[in-house]
Structure 1
C-alpha cells in the first residue's frame, strides 16, 4: 500500500477519521484538565462536545471496518452525530468565554431540536417527487445539510462578537463552511465519485479542527496567564502584591545588587475615606499607583505593600532613588488630588531584605511626622529629611 491509497483508496475514511481522532483526543485532554483545575461548568460543554466528536469519528472507523458504512442507518447516524457535535462544539466555544444565561441555553436547545426533527425526514417517504430511490433518499437528507448553513450563519453573527479569539473562530467557521460545501457538491452533484473531492473535504475538516485546537490552546494560555497575574498583583491597583515584591527584594539583596527601596504612604488617607467615601479612596489609590508605575518604568519593580502604602524596588544602578522619590511625590501632588510622604533607603552590606524595606519605611515615617508631603532618606541611627 502506498501513501496515495491512504488519501484516495478505500481506507481513506479510516485514515482521515484516525487523524481527526488524534487531534480531538489532545483537545479532550486539555479541556478535561481545564475543567478539573477550574471546576467550572463552562468547560463541561466543550468537553461534552469533544466526546460527541470522538464518538462520531470512532463510529465512522467502526462502520468502515465492519463494512456497514453505506447502510441506511449508518449514514443517518453519521449525519446526525456530525450535526449534534457541530452544535455543541460551538456552544462549548461560547461557554469558554461567557456565562450561561437561560435564554442562550434555550437558543441552542431549539437549534438542536429543529435539527433533530429535520433529520427525521430521512425516514419519511413521499410521492411528491419522482426519481431513483438513491436520488429520493438524497433529497430527504438535503434539508439537514442546508440547515447546517443556516446554523453556521447564525453562529457567525451571534457568537463571533461574544468571544475573545474572533479571527480564529471566523476562520474555523469558514473552513467548516468550505468543507460542507465540498461535501454537498461531491455527494449531491457528483454522486461521491471523485476521491479527490473526498480528500479535499477531509483536509478542510482537518484544518477546521486544528483551528479549534489552537483556539482552545490559546484560551488555556489566557486563563493560565490570568491566574498567574492575579496571584502576583493587587486587584485594585494592578501593582505587584507584597509577596511578589518581597521575593524580588530578597533576590536582589542576596545578589548584593546596588538597589534601593522607596516607601510611600498617602497622607490623611483615613480622613479621605471617612469624609469623601471609600470610592474616592479607591480612586486615589488607583491614581497614585498609576503614577508610581509610570515613574518606575523599566528602572524597577513597584508594588502595593499594604493599605495606602506603595513601594518601589529601584534596580537600575544609574537611577537616583531620591530624585525618583521626589518625582513621584511631585506628580502625586499635582495629579492625584492627594499627597504622599516618601522615604527611601539604599542597600548596604549586611542589610537583610526585610531590613532594607524597614529602613525605607522608617524614613517615610520621618517624612510623615515632620510635616507630610515630603521625601526623606534613611540615615543610620538618625534619619535625615532631605525634601
Structure 2
C-alpha cells in the first residue's frame, strides 16, 4: 500500500480539493445566473452561500498547494478542511430550503447554529463534529421533509456525504485507498448537488417559456403564440384551417353567477378544445371568451371538428358556443384567415347562436344600424 500513501493526509486532501473546487465554482456560477435571471431573494441567498463555499475551498486549495510545495505538515489544515466542509454542507442544505420557503427566525437559528457548532467542535475533534453533522443533517431533513425542493435527490446527496463522514472522519480508515474513496464520495455528493441545481434551473427556464406562450387561466396558447404559428405554417406553405369560437352569453353568466363560475366554464371549454385538437392542430385563447383553433391535418374535416366541439360544449358544460371556421385558400394571409373565421362566427352569433357557420365570400358581415359589429 506504500505506493498509495499519497492518497492520505495532506496530499489526499489536496487532490480532493483539486476535484471539488471546480465543481463548486460551476455551482456558484449556476446559482448566480439563477439569481440574475429571476431576481428573487432565495436565489440571492443560495448564490452567496455557494460563493462563500467556493472562496473557502479555493483558499484551502491554495494553502494545501503551498504546504505541499514546501513540504510542510498540514495537520491543522486537514482539520480545517474537514470541519469547514461539514459546516458548508449544512449551509447548502439551508440554501435548498430557501428555494421554496420564507424562513422563520427559528429556521435560521436551526441551520446557522448547527453549522457554527459543527465547525467549532471540528477544530478540536473531527470525529465528534462528524457525528454532530450527521445528526443535524438527519434532523433537518426529517423536520422539513415536505418543504425542500427535490427532496429525494437531497436525501441521496446527504447520504453520500454521510458515508464520506463515516469513512474519513468517524471510523478514520488508515487504508489510503479506502480513505480516498471516502473523499470521492464527498465529491459525488457535491456533483449531485450540482445536478439538482441544473435540473431546478432548467425547470424554471421551461416554466418561464411556457408562461410566455400560454394563457395562465386555461392552459391554452396565447394570442401571440397562435399568430406566430399561423405565420410559420403559411410561410412554409402548410395548408391550415381556422376555427373561431365565442362563448354565448358569457357576460350574463359572469354577472348572474359570478366570475368564478365564468372562469370554470371557460377552463372546461378550453379543455375540450385541447382534447379535440390534439395531434391535428393547436388551440389558443384569442381574447376574453374567444377561443381559436388551427387545424394543420388536411385529412380532418374542419366543419365536422367544429360541430363535434360545439356538441361537446353543449353537452358537458353550462354554456354554448357560436363557431365560425375558414378553410385554407392559397391567397390567404394570417390576418385574413382570422378575420374571415371571425366573420363566420359573428354570423353564427346573429343567426341564433349555438351553431357552426363556415366562411364564404358571400357571407354578410354582421353589423348594427350604426355600421358597427354587434357585440353579444
CA–CA distance in structure 2, aligned partners of residues 28 and 182 of structure 1 = 27
**1:116 CA drift (Å):** 5.1
2:128 paired with 1:147: no
CA–CA distance in structure 1, aligned partners of residues 82 and 281 of structure 2 = 60
Give the conservation status (yes or no) of the 8 Å contact 2:245–2:345: yes
CA displacement 1:336-366 (0-9 Å, x = unmatched): 1111110000110211101101111110000
CA–CA distance in structure 2, aligned partners of residues 368 and 27 of structure 1 = 58
Residues 361-376 of structure 1: pairs in structure 2 closer than 5 A: 361-376=342-357
Q: CA RMSD in A?
A: 2.3
CA–CA distance in structure 1, aligned partners of residues 350 and 273 of structure 2 = 22
**1:36 CA drift (Å):** 1.0
2:236 paired with 1:255: yes
Give the conservation status (yes or no) of the 8 Å contact 1:160–1:170: no
**1:81 CA drift (Å):** 1.9
**1:7 CA drift (Å):** 4.5
Indicate how the Cα distance of structure 1 residues 101 and 241 shifts in structure 2: closer, same or farther if over 3 A, else same. farther
**Which residue does 1:70 correspond to in 2?**
74
Moved more, 361-370 or 141-150: 141-150
CA–CA distance in structure 1, aligned partners of residues 151 and 104 of structure 2 = 21
CA displacement 1:146-199 (0-9 Å, x = unmatched): 111111212331344223423321210111111111013453xx5xx3211221
CA–CA distance in structure 2, aligned partners of residues 236 and 368 of structure 1 = 25
**Which residue does 2:11 correspond to in 1?**
11
**1:82 CA drift (Å):** 1.8
**Which residue does 1:184 correspond to in 2?**
169
**1:119 CA drift (Å):** 4.8
Q: TM-score, normalised by structure 1?
A: 0.86
**Which residue does 2:266 correspond to in 1?**
285
**1:269 CA drift (Å):** 0.4
Secondary structure of 2:282's counterpart equals strand
CA displacement 1:307-359 (0-9 Å, x = unmatched): 00000000111111111111111111111111111000011021110110111
Residues 109-258 of structure 1: pairs in structure 2 closer than 5 A: 109-115=112-118, 118-119=121-122, 122=124, 140-187=125-172, 190=173, 193-258=174-239
Give the conservation status (yes or no) of the 8 Å contact 1:53–1:85: yes
Moved more, 342-351 or 306-315: 342-351
**1:230 CA drift (Å):** 0.3
2:322 paired with 1:341: yes
2:101 paired with 1:98: yes
CA–CA distance in structure 1, aligned partners of residues 73 and 348 of structure 2 = 84
CA displacement 1:244-269 (0-9 Å, x = unmatched): 00100111122232210000000000
- Counterpart of 1:330 (choices 308, 311, 323) is 311
**Which residue does 1:299 correspond to in 2?**
280
Indicate how the Cα distance of structure 1 residues 114 and 185 shifts in structure 2: closer, same or farther if over 3 A, else same. closer
Give the conservation status (yes or no) of the 8 Å contact 2:97–2:149: no
2:90 paired with 1:84: no
**1:45 CA drift (Å):** 2.4
State the number of aligned residues.
359
**Which residue does 1:54 correspond to in 2?**
54
In structure 1, list runs of 5 or more residues that go unmatched. Answer: 123-139
CA–CA distance in structure 1, aligned partners of residues 37 and 300 of structure 2 = 43
Give the conservation status (yes or no) of the 8 Å contact 2:46–2:95: yes
**Which residue does 2:336 correspond to in 1?**
355
CA–CA distance in structure 2, aligned partners of residues 99 and 250 of structure 1 = 44
Secondary structure of 1:11's counterpart equals helix
Give the conservation status (yes or no) of the 8 Å contact 2:126–2:170: no
**Which residue does 1:126 correspond to in 2?**
none
**1:104 CA drift (Å):** 2.8
**Which residue does 1:135 correspond to in 2?**
none
Indicate how the Cα distance of structure 1 residues 78 and 307 shifts in structure 2: closer, same or farther if over 3 A, else same. same
Q: TM-score, normalised by structure 2?
A: 0.89
**Which residue does 1:125 correspond to in 2?**
none
CA displacement 1:269-327 (0-9 Å, x = unmatched): 00111111111111111111111111111110100000000000001111111111111
**Which residue does 2:358 correspond to in 1?**
377
